[in-house]
A and B are shown apart, each in its own frame.
Chain A
Amino acid sequence: MISLTSPVETVFHRWPAGLKLALLCVAGTGLFMLASLAGQLVALALVAAFYTLPGMRFARAGLAALRPVALFAALIAAWHVATGTLAEGAVIVLRLLSAVALANLVTMTTRLADMLAVLHWLTAPLRRIGLNTRPPELAISLVIRFIPVLSEKGAALAESYRARSPRRRAGWRIAAPLAGLALDDADHVAEALRARGGLSEGARK
């Protein structure tokens, strides 16, 4: 499974994931409280500097990841132009860009395995009070495993649809057979899981 982690090694890759997440929470709260336009400009400049630090290739990837926000920023800007509240709108758009860019920075520099480790650490209190966190952790692995399997099946269904239809794209029409295959697969996979000990056996250290 392809993740959003950047292949360009940055200094941030080496920071502990938990620290990055904690800093992101602090920075996010700070951005939300900061109401001055100048302050928001400085913040955005700072974030931009973080992106250019590891080099231009990384900065370009970061800019590309920010592209989907453009639509949202445009919608907000349009509203504030229409209602004549430009200064307020500028603060909000700048805050939006900085916050998303910072969050993306954490995502781009943290491997999935490290995120999962933080999650495991965060859920430790649940285990201490006797809850079994193994089923959800198993489910996470299953999702990562089955996204490619289901998309292959979806592609095959779309192909067999095209083979017998004048339409070029199957689109949503494969949703029903695909959901059906997912239900069938669930029975088989549950059986295979049970054959190797299921959810409750073993695994208790």
Chain B
Amino acid sequence: MSKVSERDVVMIALFAALIAVLGLVPKLTLASGIPITAQTLGIMLCGTVLGAWRGAAAAALFCLLTLLGLPLLAGGRGGLGVLMTPWAGFFVGFPIAAFVTGLVMERMRALPVAAGAAAGSVFGGIVALYVFALAWYMLAKPAGLGEAVTVAALPFIPGDLIKAVLAALVTQALAKARPGALPSRG
């Protein structure tokens, strides 16, 4: 990692703000009754657009400000209470999700932007995030693997798959509108 530049810091801060703003986008409700918001879309975009370490830093900054008491999570939630449910791993794991997403995007340069972004979002935003969050659930509640998967993972997977597709579309649109402007592929 080279020296941090002004541009890196500003980009990280702006994408942390972007995650928050995407949480304000009106939410859709899936057939399963679980609301999905664009917030995890924001986390995936941090990885696909900014790359691994900048994306993780943006997600971490977002988490930090939420914990300090800003209502940045979808639905205006925030504060330290977020940490206290067994589901907190889905929140604390945001930087890991963004990092893995970005890592896949950076390493799979041979893939077209959309395919790389989709693969990254699935590995980072779903696989990595769920592994971390389920482990957290099992420790924090405490619970067995079967319960964790049933209660904490299955209801949310359809929404997250949709968001991985959206992240790929958005990243591709961005790459088209601003050729050469993706720091993750820079």
Complex interface residues of chain A between 70 and 110 (CB less than 8 A to chain B): 72, 75-76, 78-79, 83, 92, 96, 99-104, 106-108, 110
**Which residue on chain B has the smallest CB distance to residue A111?**
B69
Q: Are B17 and A182 in contact, with the CB atoms below 8 A?
A: yes
Stretch at the interface among A8-16, A36-44, A168-176: A168-176
Q: Is the interface of A mostly helix, strand, loop or mixed?
A: helix
**Which residue on chain A has the smallest CB distance to residue B183?**
A183
Please give, as numbers and ranges, the residues of chain B lying within 8 Å of A102 by CB-CB distance. 84
Q: Are B62 and A143 in contact, with the CB atoms below 8 A?
A: yes
Instruction: Pick the most buried of A96, A150, A179: most chain B CB atoms within 10 A of its CB.
Output: A179
Q: How far is the CB of B131 from chain A (nearest CB, A)?
A: 20
Interface size class on chain B is 35 or more
Q: Is the interface of B mostly helix, strand, loop or mixed?
A: helix
Complex interface residues of chain B between 1 and 43 (CB less than 8 A to chain A): 4-7, 9-18, 20-22, 24-26, 28, 38, 41-42
Interface size class on chain A is 35 or more
Q: How far is the CB of B154 from chain A (nearest CB, A)?
A: 11
A190 adjacent to chain B (CB < 8 Å): yes
Considering the chains assembled together, what is the distance between the CA atoms of A115 and B80 in angstroms? Answer: 11
Q: Write out, one digit per residue, whether chain B residues 73-89 have a CB within 8 A of any chain A CB (1) or not (0).
A: 00101111111111100
Please give, as numbers and ranges, the residues of chain B lying within 8 Å of A110 by CB-CB distance. 69
Q: Write out, one digit per residue, whether chain A residues 132-165 have a CB within 8 A of any chain B CB (1) or not (0).
A: 0001101110111011011100100000000000
Considering the chains assembled together, what is the distance between the CA atoms of A154 and B81 in angstroms? Answer: 28
Q: Are A140 and B18 in contact, with the CB atoms below 8 A?
A: no
**Which residue on chain A has the smallest CB distance to residue B27?**
A171
Q: Are A193 and B10 in contact, with the CB atoms below 8 A?
A: yes
Within 8 Å by CB of B5, from A140, A171, A190, lies A190
Please give, as numbers and ranges, the residues of chain B lying within 8 Å of A79 by CB-CB distance. 147, 150-151
Contact flag A144-B12 (CB < 8 Å), given A103-B79, A178-B18, A178-B21? no
